[in-house]
Structure 1
Amino acid sequence: MTLRRKLLLVALCTLALPVAGWLYVRQMENLLRDGQAQALTASARAVARSLAVTGAVLPEAGQGWYVQAAGTPITIDGYGDDWAPLTPWSEPVGARGKLLLAQDDSWLYLWLDVRDSRRTRAEVDDPLVLRADHVVLSLQRGTVLRRYLLASAAPGPVSARPLDPPVDGLPDLLTAQWQEDGSGYRIELRVPRVDGVSALGVGVFDPADGGDPLAVEQRPLLAYSDPLSAELAQLAPDDVHARVLSPDGWLLAQSGRHDADRSQGPQPGWFAALIYRSLLADRVQASQPWMQDAPRLLTDEVTQARHGTPAAVWRDGETRASVVLDAAVPIERAGHVRGVLLLEQASRAVPLLANRALFGLLLTSFAVLLVAGGILLAFATRLSLRLGKLRDAAERAQAADGRLDGLFQRGRFPMTDAPDEVGDLARSFEKLFEAVGGYTDYLRTLASKLSHELNTPLAIVKSSLDNLEHALDADGGVPADAAPYLARARDGTARLGALVRAMSEASRMERAIAAAEPEDVDLRDVVRGCAESYRALAGTRRFDCVLPDAPLPFHGAPELVAQALDKLFDNALSFTPAEGWLRLELRAIDGGAQITLANQGPPLPEAMQARLFDSLVSLRDKATPGDAPHLGLGLYVVRLVAERHGGVALARNTDDGQGVAFTLQLFGMPRPRL
């Protein structure tokens, strides 16, 4: 990864600023909402205490039957079409029935739906009616009540038979409609509204279930109260929807409406609303638009308040980017929860403030990010340029033969006067190249110095041996027992002289190979030309050359490749028998070329395969005394040529064990930088 990209990543670390600001805005938004929730809860507590102290009409503790308001008169026909809008709030009766109550200015309506697939039918005046399916209704006025028995053997009108003596203000006869099908039966009736009827009892008897045939579930009647609503309107804060609920969640009174259009602030756009919903809003429950007109509420906050604990919940508003705060507190009297007060307040103020803070933070952070990124990018560009100059100077400082470039002199290395770390690095490079240059010059001239210094002692030894031999010849000849030692001394002197000459020759070849200039050639033509010249030298030996069908472009020094092939062929020819074979092969590999020269002959010793390409190493070192020693530079030159072309030289025995294969893997010489 480049330095610019690294510093760009460092610049991206400034994103921690908007992230931290976003977390801060979220925290502040939560604090604002908590403060608003505490304020609304305190207002709800005050209103609840006022309702309890002023003696507002509240239901007794316990369950009750809720009587809903009938929007239109209900036709008593035994069918539930008129009850469809009220069906979601039906109340269970026993194990099989569901009850709905409604009222208008004149009548109290009742709808009872009983699920019973196995019927035991009897008329209401049948002596065995109490053993059949029937319904018992009871009306209570004050402390007295009167029960009525409803039963029918077939669908149609049915009259309820009183089971108790007459009671002033309660009807003597109830007329109902009885309808049934395979799933059960339904009863629909109406009772004139009479002041003082405070409770209603319903009992559904099924012979299959057993039990008391006259048992009823008696509960007080609950209904929406206009006087309580008027009193609540005087106590509730402005712009707040206030509702009084029974302990079961039935609506008893309400005042006001939570209207987001009248809340503070204009309506935000869709993008601002999306930002608030996705980035800022926290602990906001789903909106429930039906809650404003529902006769019964059993939300989490109402359930918590009915058990005596105040609760506040934030919900999504009905309009875009608005929220609704619900605060529910218990209304207690004499240590009992008599109801629940629910205050709802819609607001756009919190979302607007949070959005404004977030947008301001994002704009500021974006500006800071742009400035910081621009500064870091400029710094990275300048630093990259300076390091590039330093790199180019380091690459140009050394010539191909290892010596320092003539253009590099002390004080001319770039940026050595800079006072920062790059200047320290430049000065360190300058000192390093001075030391490397001196050491390279020492190594370059070491071989010639050694050869020069060893020539004189060798000449003294050789002349001393000549004088010794002449002296012995003058005295009667070299003794027979001394002749072998004299011959060995002469042979050792000759070999030592050959080594000195080899050291000088190796130093010369290294400089020549390092100074070779590359060019673009077809390597197939280079190998073909060498192969044609080798055929005449092979003599009686079979020589094969395998070349690729297509040209093989190569960037390198063709004379060095030819020199390496000459060394390999000379080495292979010396080990191949007169009737043996040689094989030269060129093929392309990934990124370069591979040249293999295999010959028939003795296999390579295992220990020598890794040392064959070292300087002054040869398998023919032990020559016959008097013969010219082999210098062991041929394969060393092959290795130098391969390394100069970015490759390697390898030697191995053939798979059949009948010969040796030498391989050159060449990848080309580097092109000069422009």
Structure 2
Amino acid sequence: MTLRRKLLLVALCTLVLPLAGWLYVRQMESLLRDGQAQALSASARALARTLAVLDTDLPPARGGWYVQDTSVPITVDGYGDDWATMTPWSQPLPGNAKLMLAREGDWLYLFIEVRTARRTRPDVFDNAARRADHVTLLLGRGVEQRRYLIASDAPGAVTAVSIDEAAGNLPGQLQAQWQEDGSGYRVELRIPASIVLDRLGLGVYSAAAGGDPVAQETRPLIGFSPSTSAELGRLAPPEVRVRLLAPGAWLLAQHGKLGVADLPPAQRPGWFASLVYASLLSRRLDPAAEWAEDVPRVDLPEVRQALGGEPAVAWRAGQSRGSVVLSAAMPVEVEGSVRAVVVLEQANRNVPLLANRALLGLFIISFLALLVAGGVLLAFATRLTLRLRRLRDAAELAQQNDGRLDGRFPLTDASDELGDLARSFDQLLQVVGGYTDYLRTLASKLSHELNTPLAIVKSSLDNLEQASLPPEAGPYLARARDGVARLGTLVRAMSEASRMERAIAAAEAEEVDLAAVVGGCAAAYRGLAGDRTVECVLPDGPLRMHAAPELLAQALDKLFDNALSFTPLGGWLRVSLREVPDGAEIELANQGPPLPEAMHGRLFDSLVSLRDKATPGDAPHLGLGLYVVRLVAERHGGTASAHNLADGSGVAFVLHVRPMTRHRL
């Protein structure tokens, strides 16, 4: 990973700023919500205490039968079509039955549906109808009450007969409709509202289940009260919807509507802002309540909790975009029992709007801070990278083609850590350069210095040969001459190596066809190979390259001379040329013994040779051929290598060359 990328990753650490800001905005939004919840809960508590003190007409703690108001005319026919809109708020009865009560005009309507798979019908004109399936109805007003038994042996009209003595002006009988199907039966009737009932008793008897035939559950009648609603309007705080609920979450009174102030179009939150608030800022937001409209029963979690005696608050998504609804439910307790629940609901756009604005401002500031920090770090990384590249380029250009170390490091006058590094490199370069120059000229110096002592030794040996020496001194004199000859050969080799290095470094490059150069050399080698076979593998077309053809031919000559000495009679040699992505490769392979493993890394060094082992003789081999091949490869920006063939039949020497640098005038 580059330095700029690393510093860019460091710049990304500034992303912790928007994270911290987001947590702060969430905390702020939570505090705003807690403050509003506490204020609304306090208003609900005050209203609940006021209702308890004023002795408002509250239902008993055990609840009552709820009577719904309807504007739809109801036909008493025993079918539930007219009750379809009220069916979701039916009230359960013992015996797998349900009840619906409705007030419309001057009548109180009653609809009972009983689910049973087994029916016991009374006989016609049977006075013992109590032993069959029937419904018991009780009407009560003040101290007066009267019970009625409703039973039928077939669908149709039925008369509810009183089973009690006359009581005031309560009717002696009631007309009802009885309908049946495979799942049970239904009873529908109506009672004049002028009777002004204050309680109602109902019981469903099944002969199969047994029990008390005339048992019923008696409860007071409750319903929506406009007068109580008006009283709530006088007590409730402004811009708040207040509901008074009976046990069972039945609506007794209501005042106000859930409305929010209409904002200008420019300030109205869009769908994206609402999504951001709901997903990033709001800690818990229940879905929009299904009870937002006027319904007879408000069965919400906070209402159920308040009916249990514990105050509760809840936050919900508002029906208008970008709004939230705060609901506070407070129990109304009279003499230690919960008689009702007060629910205050308030719609608000300010909390999401303020949170979204704060988050937007935070994101903008964080984005700008990230841009500034990233730009500064990127500029710093770019400058640092450029300085490091100057050091790298200086280190690469310090070595000349002839092996000398020259040049001065940049940034040596800088006062920072890179300046210290540059000064250390410069000092190291000077020391290594001096040592390299000493080693590079050591061969020529030694050859020059050894010429005179060798001449003295040689002339002394000549004088000794002319003098009369005993016969036993002859072998020693011959050995001395042989050693002098070997030393002379080594001195000449060192002089030759220095001369070749200077000649290769001074060679000029030109545009040549490598295929023609290699093909010409291979053709010349066939006349020198004797009975050995020379193969040549060239590309199909010309291979143009900016190179020094004389140096390449010289390197091939050295490789051929080296390979020929190791190739047995009747063996083969193969010269090949192939193009590679960054230049070309010239390979000379020959049949012969494999290379020793210990010589792979030293084969192309100066004065290293294996030929004396292959062709023993008196004259030592100087080991300069493969050294010249390496110098030629390095002059072309490439490398020289050798490896044993995969089948073990011989050795391959590879000269990898690249185009030489073009010098512009």
Among 653, 656, 661, the residue aligned to 1:666: 656
Identity among equivalent positions (%) equals: 65
What residue is the counterpart of 1:531 in the other structure?
A: 522
Q: Label 1:635 to 1:464 Cα distance change in 2 as closer, same or farther (>3 A).
A: same
Report how far residue 642 of structure 1 moved: 4.2
Among 458, 470, 475, the residue aligned to 2:469: 475
Aligned counterparts, 1:282-431, within 5 A: 282-288=283-289, 290-405=291-406, 408=407, 414-431=410-427
What residue is the counterpart of 2:61 in the other structure?
A: 61
Distance in 2 separating the partners of 1:26 and 1:672: 66
Q: Label 1:252 to 1:534 Cα distance change in 2 as closer, same or farther (>3 A).
A: same
Q: Label 1:81 to 1:672 Cα distance change in 2 as closer, same or farther (>3 A).
A: farther
Kept after mapping to 2: 8 A contact 1:140/1:200: yes
CA deviation profile, 1:544-597 (whole Å, cap 9, x unmatched): 112222444545544443333222211121122332222222334454444332
Kept after mapping to 1: 8 A contact 2:170/2:195: no
Does residue 234 of structure 1 match 2:234?
yes
Distance in 2 separating the partners of 1:139 and 1:665: 118
Report how far residue 490 of structure 1 moved: 3.6
Distance in 2 separating the partners of 1:648 and 1:237: 93
Distance in 2 separating the partners of 1:553 and 1:110: 108
What residue is the counterpart of 1:562 in the other structure?
A: 553
Does residue 541 of structure 1 match 2:532?
yes
CA deviation profile, 1:302-323 (whole Å, cap 9, x unmatched): 1222222212111111212111
Does residue 31 of structure 1 match 2:31?
yes
Distance in 2 separating the partners of 1:102 and 1:644: 109
Report how far residue 516 of structure 1 moved: 5.3
Report how far residue 28 of structure 1 moved: 0.9
Report how far residue 238 of structure 1 moved: 0.9
Could you say what secondary structure the match of 2:432 adopts?
helix
Distance in 1 separating the partners of 2:346 and 2:249: 19
Distance in 2 separating the partners of 1:187 and 1:26: 57
**The 10-residue stretch of structure 1 (305-314 or 109-118) with the greater mean CA deviation from structure 2:** 109-118
What residue is the counterpart of 2:604 in the other structure?
A: 613
Report how far residue 529 of structure 1 moved: 2.0
Q: Label 1:424 to 1:176 Cα distance change in 2 as closer, same or farther (>3 A).
A: same
What residue is the counterpart of 1:99 in the other structure?
A: 99
Among 546, 565, 571, the residue aligned to 1:574: 565
Report how far residue 141 of structure 1 moved: 3.8
Aligned counterparts, 1:501-650, within 5 A: 501-510=492-501, 512-513=503-504, 521-554=512-545, 556-589=547-580, 591-621=582-612, 627-642=618-633, 645=636, 648-650=639-641
Report how far residue 356 of structure 1 moved: 2.8
Question: What amino acid does structure 2 have at the position aligned with 1:365?
Answer: S
What residue is the counterpart of 2:490 in the other structure?
A: 499
Question: What amino acid does structure 2 have at the position aligned with 1:248?
Answer: G
Distance in 1 separating the partners of 2:404 and 2:446: 20
Distance in 1 separating the partners of 2:357 and 2:466: 115
Could you say what secondary structure the match of 1:632 adopts?
coil
Q: Label 1:606 to 1:437 Cα distance change in 2 as closer, same or farther (>3 A).
A: closer
Q: Label 1:122 to 1:491 Cα distance change in 2 as closer, same or farther (>3 A).
A: farther
Question: What amino acid does structure 2 have at the position aligned with 1:138?
Answer: L
Aligned counterparts, 1:649-660, within 5 A: 649-657=640-648, 659-660=649-650
CA deviation profile, 1:373-410 (whole Å, cap 9, x unmatched): 444444445445545555544444442223344xx46x
Q: Label 1:404 to 1:608 Cα distance change in 2 as closer, same or farther (>3 A).
A: closer
CA deviation profile, 1:80-100 (whole Å, cap 9, x unmatched): 222111111122223532221
Aligned counterparts, 1:94-173, within 5 A: 94=94, 96-122=96-122, 125-126=125-126, 129-142=129-142, 145-173=145-173
**The 10-residue stretch of structure 1 (303-312 or 632-641) with the greater mean CA deviation from structure 2:** 632-641
Q: Label 1:157 to 1:537 Cα distance change in 2 as closer, same or farther (>3 A).
A: same
Q: Label 1:590 to 1:265 Cα distance change in 2 as closer, same or farther (>3 A).
A: closer
What residue is the counterpart of 1:443 in the other structure?
A: 439
Q: Label 1:611 to 1:385 Cα distance change in 2 as closer, same or farther (>3 A).
A: closer
Distance in 2 separating the partners of 1:631 and 1:105: 131
Could you say what secondary structure the match of 2:651 adopts?
strand
Question: What amino acid does structure 2 have at the position aligned with 1:203?
Answer: G
Kept after mapping to 2: 8 A contact 1:142/1:196: no
Distance in 2 separating the partners of 1:205 and 1:497: 137
Structure 2 gaps of 5+ residues are none
Q: Label 1:152 to 1:618 Cα distance change in 2 as closer, same or farther (>3 A).
A: same
Question: What amino acid does structure 1 have at the position aligned with 2:436?
Answer: T
Q: Label 1:71 to 1:432 Cα distance change in 2 as closer, same or farther (>3 A).
A: farther
Report how far residue 460 of structure 1 moved: 4.9
Aligned counterparts, 1:144-223, within 5 A: 145-193=145-193, 197-223=197-223
Structure 1 gaps of 5+ residues are none
**The 10-residue stretch of structure 1 (528-537 or 664-673) with the greater mean CA deviation from structure 2:** 664-673
Kept after mapping to 2: 8 A contact 1:651/1:660: no
Q: Label 1:655 to 1:20 Cα distance change in 2 as closer, same or farther (>3 A).
A: closer
Report how far residue 345 of structure 1 moved: 0.8
Report how far residue 661 of structure 1 moved: 2.5
Kept after mapping to 2: 8 A contact 1:264/1:347: no
Report how far residue 34 of structure 1 moved: 0.8
Could you say what secondary structure the match of 1:621 adopts?
helix
Kept after mapping to 1: 8 A contact 2:534/2:573: yes
Kept after mapping to 2: 8 A contact 1:124/1:161: no
What residue is the counterpart of 2:70 in the other structure?
A: 70
Q: Label 1:450 to 1:230 Cα distance change in 2 as closer, same or farther (>3 A).
A: same
Q: Label 1:226 to 1:617 Cα distance change in 2 as closer, same or farther (>3 A).
A: same
Distance in 2 separating the partners of 1:592 and 1:121: 109
Kept after mapping to 1: 8 A contact 2:595/2:651: no
Question: What amino acid does structure 1 have at the position aligned with 2:556?
Answer: L
Kept after mapping to 2: 8 A contact 1:263/1:349: no
Distance in 1 separating the partners of 2:101 and 2:54: 29
Q: TM-score, normalised by structure 2?
A: 0.89
Q: Label 1:459 to 1:89 Cα distance change in 2 as closer, same or farther (>3 A).
A: farther
Report how far residue 44 of structure 1 moved: 0.9
Could you say what secondary structure the match of 2:611 adopts?
coil
Report how far residue 49 of structure 1 moved: 1.2
Does residue 433 of structure 1 match 2:423?
no
Q: Label 1:324 to 1:312 Cα distance change in 2 as closer, same or farther (>3 A).
A: same
Kept after mapping to 2: 8 A contact 1:124/1:160: no
Distance in 1 separating the partners of 2:605 and 2:475: 32
Q: Label 1:166 to 1:650 Cα distance change in 2 as closer, same or farther (>3 A).
A: farther
CA deviation profile, 1:51-71 (whole Å, cap 9, x unmatched): 112211222122432211112
Q: Label 1:392 to 1:647 Cα distance change in 2 as closer, same or farther (>3 A).
A: closer
Report how far residue 327 of structure 1 moved: 0.9
What residue is the counterpart of 1:268 in the other structure?
A: 268
Does residue 257 of structure 1 match 2:257?
yes
Aligned-CA RMSD value? 3.3
